[in-house]
Amino acid sequence: MNLRRIFVFAGGILFGFGLAFGGMAKQEIVLSFLQLEDLGLLLLLGGSALVTALTINIVPKILKKPILGGEFKKRTRTLNKRTIIGAIIFGVGWGISGLCPGSAIASLGVGNLPVLIGIAGMFIGAYIMGRYFT
Amino acid sequence: MFPLGFFPYIIGGIIIGVGVSLIFIATGLHATQSSFLDATISFFSKRPYFLQKQFIDSRGWRITFALGVILGAFIYTITLAAEGFFTTSVEWWRLAIGGLLVGFGTRLSKGCTSGHGISGLASLSTTSLFAVITFITVGILTALVIQILGVMP
C-alpha cells in the first residue's frame, strides 16, 4: 500500500466518521430533513463544503503541487440537461429512501445492513445509465 | 427546526471537510462518492462507457476511500455512539427503488450530495449549485408526498 493510498484511506475514515457523527448513516434522520422536521443536514452540508472550499481555493495558492506529487486540478462539470434530469431522478430516489451514495456506504459501518439492498439498487441504476444512456 | 441541536451536524460536517481536505492536500484528488459506482463496475463490464480512463485510473483509490468510509463509521459506532449499532426501519422496497433511482440519477448528473454538494459547491461551480438546488427541492417534495401518502417512517 503506497503513501497516497494511506492518505486516501485516512481521509475516508474521517469522511465516514463525520457522516456517522452527523447522523447521516440513519435514513430516518435524512428523511426528517427532507420532511422539513430537522434542517440539520444543511448545517452538515454547509460545514463540510465551507471547510473544503477554504482548502481547495487557498492551498493551491500556497503549495505548487500536492504534498505527494501530482497536480491540483479543478473539478469541472458542464451544465446540461443531463445534470438537471439526473439531479431530479436522484432527488426522487433520495426522497423515497433517504439514501445517497456516501451515506449508504457509511451505513454499513454502523451495522445498518438493510442498506445493502439500496447499494445493490445503486449499482444496477448506475449500470443501466452507463449501458443504455450514453 | 433543529430538534437534535446544531452540534452533531456542524462537527460532523467539519470532520467530513477535513477528510476531503486531507486527501486534496496530499494527492490533489477530489474525494467524492458516486463515481465509486462506475469505477467498481469497470472491473466487471466490457461496455465502453465503463472502460473510460477516468474510471479505470480511479477505481483503486475509490475503493480504498469507500473502505475508509465504512471503517470511520464503524469507529464512531464503537466509540461515541450512545445507542451503538443501528438498523433502519425504512422498508426494503423503498431502499431498493430509491437506491436504483439514486444510482441512475447521480451518474447521469455526474455528482451526488458529496460530488455536487461538497466538492462542487466548494469549487464554486454554478453547475453543481443548480444540481444541489434541484436534488434538494425534488427530494423534499418526494419525501413530503410519501409522508402524505402515509408511508412511514
- Asked whether A67 and B113 are in contact (CB, 8 A), the reply is no
Using alpha carbons, select from A110, A91, A92, A53 the residue that is nearest to residue B79: A110
Instruction: Write the CA distances from B91 to A106, A125, B83, B98, integer angstroms.
Output: 19, 19, 21, 11
CB of B111 within 8 Å of a chain A CB? The answer is: yes
pLDDT tens per residue across span B88-146: 999 999 999 999 999 999 999 999 999 999 999 999 999 999 999 999 999 999 999 99
Q: What is the pLDDT of residue B152?
A: 63
Instruction: Specify the 3-state DSSP secondary structure of B25.
Output: helix
What are the residue boundaries of the structural domains of chain A, listed by start? 3-132
B27–A70 CB contact, under 8 Å: yes
| B139 within some domain | yes
The pLDDT tens digits along chain A (134 residues) read: 599 999 999 999 999 999 999 999 999 999 999 999 999 999 999 999 999 999 999 999 999 999 999 999 988 899 999 999 999 999 999 999 999 999 999 999 999 999 999 999 999 999 999 999 99
CB neighbourhood size of B60 (10 A): 13
| B113 within some domain | yes
B88–A75 CB contact, under 8 Å: no
Q: Give A84's DSSP letter.
A: H
CB of B37 within 8 Å of a chain A CB? The answer is: yes
Query: What is the C-alpha radius of gyration for chain A, rounded to an integer number of angstroms?
Result: 17
Q: Which residue segment(s) compose the domain that B98 sits in?
A: 89-153
| B69 within some domain | no
Q: Testing the interface with A: which of B4, B7, B16 to mutate, by most A Cβ within 10 A?
A: B16
**Of all helices (H) and strands (E), which one includes residue B88?**
none
Q: What is the ipTM of this complex?
A: 0.97
In B28-81, which residue ranges form alpha helices assigned H by DSSP? 35-41, 53-79
C-alpha cell at B125: 461551480
Q: Report the number of distinct structural domains present in chain B.
A: 1
| B40 within some domain | no
B98–A118 CB contact, under 8 Å: yes
Secondary structure percentages of chain A, helix, strand, coil, to 5: 70, 0, 30
| B119 within some domain | yes
| B28 within some domain | no
